[in-house]
Each structure stands twice: as C-alpha cells, then as structure tokens.
Amino acid sequence: MTTAGNFRSATSRADHQVDIAGVPWPTYKLIALAIGALVLVVVGVATMSAAPAVLSATAVTIAVWLGLGRISPSDQ
C-alpha cells in the first residue's frame, strides 16, 4: 500500500489518529505542530530574529496543543 493510502486509511478512522513511522499520533498534536511551524516562519521573517520567533512559536504550539487536547475525545 502506498503512503497516500496509509494516510487516507489513518484519517478515516473514528479515533482521529495518523500513523507516523508506525506510531499513532492524535491529529490535534499534528495541527499544533503545524501551526507552531507557521508562526515560527512568519515571526522569523517579520522580525529577522530567532529569539522572538522561537519563543512565540513555542507559546502558540503549547497553547494549541493543550487547548485542542482538552476538547478532543479521549480514548479512556
């Protein structure tokens, strides 16, 4: 099966997990990481400095990770 086929079958499951290298990741964690990477690039380009880019990306990633983690259905 191709990688695209694996992704399609992983995202269609009811538990909303994506397998990355055989490890199931909840989609909210991947969304948080993607948003954090976007913030890192945007702030880095806007300020041309690494410190504010890294700190703001970290703060946004943690906030999204925890926020979406609270509202996502748990497996327990």
Residue 8 lies in a domain: yes
Residue 17 lies in a domain: yes
Q: Chain-wide mean pLDDT for the chain?
A: 85
Domain of 12 in residue numbering reads as 3-71
Residue 56 lies in a domain: yes
Quote the number of domains for the chain.
1
* pLDDT band at residue 75 using 50, 70 and 90 as cut-offs: low
pTM: 0.73
Residue 38 lies in a domain: yes
Residue 76 lies in a domain: no
Instruction: Give tens-digit pLDDT for 13-31.
Output: 456 899 999 999 999 999 9
Q: Write the secondary structure of the chain as one string of H (helix), E (strand) and C (coil).
A: CCHHHHHHHHHCCCCCEEEECCEEEEHHHHHHHHHHHHHHHHHHHHHCCHHHHHHHHHHHHHHHHHHHHHHCCCCC
Of the chain, the end-to-end C-alpha distance in Å amounts to: 31
Residue 7 lies in a domain: yes
